[in-house]
Amino acid sequence: MNRELLLRFENLVQLRGACRQLRALSSRKVCGAPWKPVQFSAHPMGSLLLQPQLWQKDTSVSAALSQCRHLATKEETKKKKKKIPLTRGEVEIRQKMTVEELAQAMGKDIDHIYEVLLYTDINLDSIEPDSILHEDHIKMIVQKSGMKYKSAKLKEEKERKNTDAVKRQVVSYPAVLTPRPPVVTILGHVDHGKTTLLDSLRKTQVALMEAGGITQHIGAFLVHMPSGEKITFLDTPGHAAFSAMRARGTNVTDIVILVVAAEDGVMQQTIESIQHAKNAGVPLILAINKCDKPEADPERVKKELLAHDVVCEEFGGDVQAVNISALKGENLMVLAEATVALAEMLELKADATGPVEGTVIESRKDKGKGPLTTAIIQRGTLRKGCVLVAGKTWAKVRFLFDENGKAVDAASPGIPVEIMCWKESPSAGDENLEVESEQRAQEVVAWRSYVEEQEKMKKDLEVIEAKQKEHRLEYEKKQQKLSHLTWRQRKAALYKANKHVMFSRPKERAEMDENTLSLIVKGDVDGSVEAILNILDSYDCEDECKLDVVYFGMGDISENDISLAEAFNGVILGFSVKANESIKKLADRKGIKIKLHNIIYKLIEDLKDELNSRLPPTVVESTVGEASVLDTFSVTAGKNKIPVAGCRVHKGLLDRKMKFKLIRNKDVIWKGCLSSLKYHKDDVQVIKTGMDCGLSLDKNLEFSIGDEIICYEEKEVRQTTSWDPGF
């Protein structure tokens, strides 16, 4: 009996040891093929338990154990070493890292960075993947992610050498100076006859070809006088939208001819033109136009100009005044002679040798010729083969054209010329400078692009720092409100408040914002695009509808413009450009609006109509009838007492189908519908002026004698934008 108990006890001990070994074996990490348990066919479990030595000495078990120990190969050992480096969890950071760069350095996705930023003072509405993060925020994000940071070794950037091209220093050697034609700018109010005057001088029909009868581009023309002299004329637009063009014209001119209509007198753009001439320090010649009309009064014009410091010679000043009729050609030679005489007094000369210097008057794109610029040469002589730099582009000149489109070989100082073979279109007003070679031109363009990029980065950082400071103050205020909570409660409250932000990325929020009008602006020349953008800059009704210019450029409407408008759900504005039939069909198929105009004020009117269509309608109340409460009483309906007002209609009528409001002491205390309207004891639909009635409201509200009952209807009225572009 004792022997059987002893054997059972030994079997239990052996079973416990076997279980322990099995647990240890199963808990091991086996890399490769899974370990297969050995089948002990020769030794059943019962006999195995009775023989404890067999378990420990079984060769199959020991083979399995050795297999488990030696499955790890050398390659897997190397992988393990790579996964667990000595600098585990360290992130190399540097200043001015973007959200995307930080996510890559941490080995995380961008959503992880957004999630961590929920617990900071940063406003996620202003954060994009390419947004630059402050160094303190970078360190905080790394720490909250359970990692350590180390600063990257900053490479000392050598100061970049200035490779810009500049004008020559002005050195006056009489031997090299030669007379040049005067550059004369014609300024004045819209429709005062500037282009017609120039037309008559050069015997062309420019005015008849212009849309709406107004000049909308700056033009440069060389006019040959009968006496042999040459005058370069600049014809600038008079419309209010083209102020920048007029200012640019006076910056390259020698003389300004101020055109004023004799019957209209001094107008808004007349005053602006005088100011442009004063700012540029350019002498004036007054041309009083339309003197052939019966209502013309030249003397009144001269007197009005006195208020703007334009004093004619007959009043003791130095401004020549010529009465002309541009349409009939009267006194035009007198005006030309006055211009030549003033030019002789100014002794206009220039150096026709050395590197070329000039100014871009206008820039445009031509389908066959590519980017073209109209320029006036100020120093040197421009020839084929010259390498020019203007703004951030350059050209090796292969073709030159005069104002009539005729090819020329050279252009001397004071001569307007059209230049072909630009890499990109320069901006109007840029300086044309000749450089030694194409390589030198590329260096100049690279330097100017670098300088612009640095300035932009500096401005962006200033804006970012200002926003971060603002958000930090907001964050501190929020933290003060939560100061009585524990840190866990604060984090929970912040997460709950910002949870919706995490699941809405900035791009998605932009797509959801329907109250935004995205614009693609295309123009025929650079000056037209500039004028339109200047008008759009005056838009100040962001609270009504946001205006966003996503792209602007020159040339006809293309498929890229359609794709861009589709992506942003935008509208294409085209000024003096075309859209072929295939483009129009593509736009119709995709539901894209293309608005093409040749007159700038009509384009702006169309834009305002588009803005108006984006505004939600407003509800306007129109009064139908008015009544006054003469007496009050109540009627019992079941267990309830209903207040009733005895009224008399003194204006219009009361219609039970419409809405009503109760006014007491000039305050509206109720709005709604009537529950009953009676004339004597009969229910009626309408009570007219002069009739008495009894009425009750859909709300148990006590009446007072003297209350006013107003019957009104609501109508939806289309809103109009309050934006005023100035014309």
pLDDT of residue 364: 82
CA R_g for the chain: 43
**pLDDT score of 218 more than 70:** no
* Measured CA angle at 528 (ends 527, 533), to 5 deg: 95
Share of the chain above pLDDT 70, in %: 76
Helices (H) and strands (E) in the chain, counts: 20, 33
pLDDT level of residue 708 (50, 70, 90 thresholds) = very high
pLDDT level of residue 496 (50, 70, 90 thresholds) = low
**DSSP H stretches of helix in 134-183:** 135-144
154-163, 418-427, 452-461, 684-693: which range is least confident on average? 154-163
Average of per-residue pLDDT across 206-235: 62
* Secondary element (H or E) of residue 605: helix 600-614
pLDDT level of residue 488 (50, 70, 90 thresholds) = low
> Which residue in this structure is represented by tokens 């020019």?
388
109-118, 154-163, 262-271, 457-466: which range is least confident on average? 154-163
pLDDT level of residue 512 (50, 70, 90 thresholds) = very low
pLDDT level of residue 7 (50, 70, 90 thresholds) = low
CA distance 242 to 236: 8
Average of per-residue pLDDT across 295-307: 89
pLDDT digits (tens, 9 = 90+) for 63-114: 443 444 444 444 444 444 443 333 346 888 887 788 888 888 888 888 888 8
pLDDT of residue 164: 85
The more confidently predicted of residues 527 and 344 is: 344
Burial of 453 (0-12, 13-18, 19+ CB in 10 A): exposed
155-169, 347-361, 456-470: which range is least confident on average? 155-169
- Which of 109, 104, 106, 113 has its CA nearest to residue 137? 113
95-99, 439-443, 577-581, 702-706: which range is least confident on average? 95-99
**pLDDT score of 406 more than 60:** yes
Average of per-residue pLDDT across 367-394: 88
Share of the chain above pLDDT 90, in %: 13
**pLDDT score of 637 more than 80:** no
**pLDDT score of 414 more than 90:** no
Q: Which of the given ranges, 46-55, 109-118, 470-479, 616-625, has the highest pLDDT on average?
A: 616-625
pLDDT of residue 219: 63
Strands (E), 141-275: 148-151, 177-179, 183-188, 219-224, 230-235, 255-261
pLDDT level of residue 23 (50, 70, 90 thresholds) = low
pLDDT of residue 435: 92
pLDDT of residue 19: 64
pLDDT of residue 55: 40
Structure tokens at 89: 């969890």
pLDDT of residue 265: 87
160-169, 325-334, 422-431: which range is least confident on average? 160-169
**pLDDT score of 683 more than 80:** yes
The more confidently predicted of residues 76 and 651 is: 651
pLDDT of residue 286: 92
CA distance 387 to 396: 4
**pLDDT score of 495 more than 70:** no
The more confidently predicted of residues 364 and 499 is: 364
pLDDT of residue 394: 92
**pLDDT score of 505 more than 60:** no
**pLDDT score of 178 more than 90:** no
pLDDT level of residue 188 (50, 70, 90 thresholds) = confident
User: Looking at this protein, which amino acid is placed at residue 628?
Assistant: S
How much of the chain is helix, strand and coil, in % rounded to 5?
35, 30, 35
pLDDT of residue 560: 86
168-182, 290-304, 337-351, 389-403: which range is least confident on average? 168-182
**pLDDT score of 352 more than 80:** yes
CA distance 401 to 372: 10
Please state the three-class secondary structure of 483-526 as a single string. Answer: CCCCHHHHHHHHHHHHHHHHCCCHHHHHHHCCCEEEEEEEECEH
pLDDT of residue 250: 57
Q: What is the mean pLDDT of the chain?
A: 77
pLDDT level of residue 616 (50, 70, 90 thresholds) = confident
Average of per-residue pLDDT across 18-27: 59
pLDDT of residue 620: 86
**pLDDT score of 504 more than 60:** no
pLDDT of residue 662: 93
CA distance 1 to 664: 111
31-40, 327-336, 393-402: which range is least confident on average? 31-40
What the chain holds in terms of domains, given with CATH numbers, is: 90-151 (1.10.10), 177-349 (3.40.50.300), 357-445 (2.40.30.10), 516-615 (3.40.50.10050), 618-718 (2.40.30.10)
Cβ-contact 711, 660 below 8 angstroms: yes
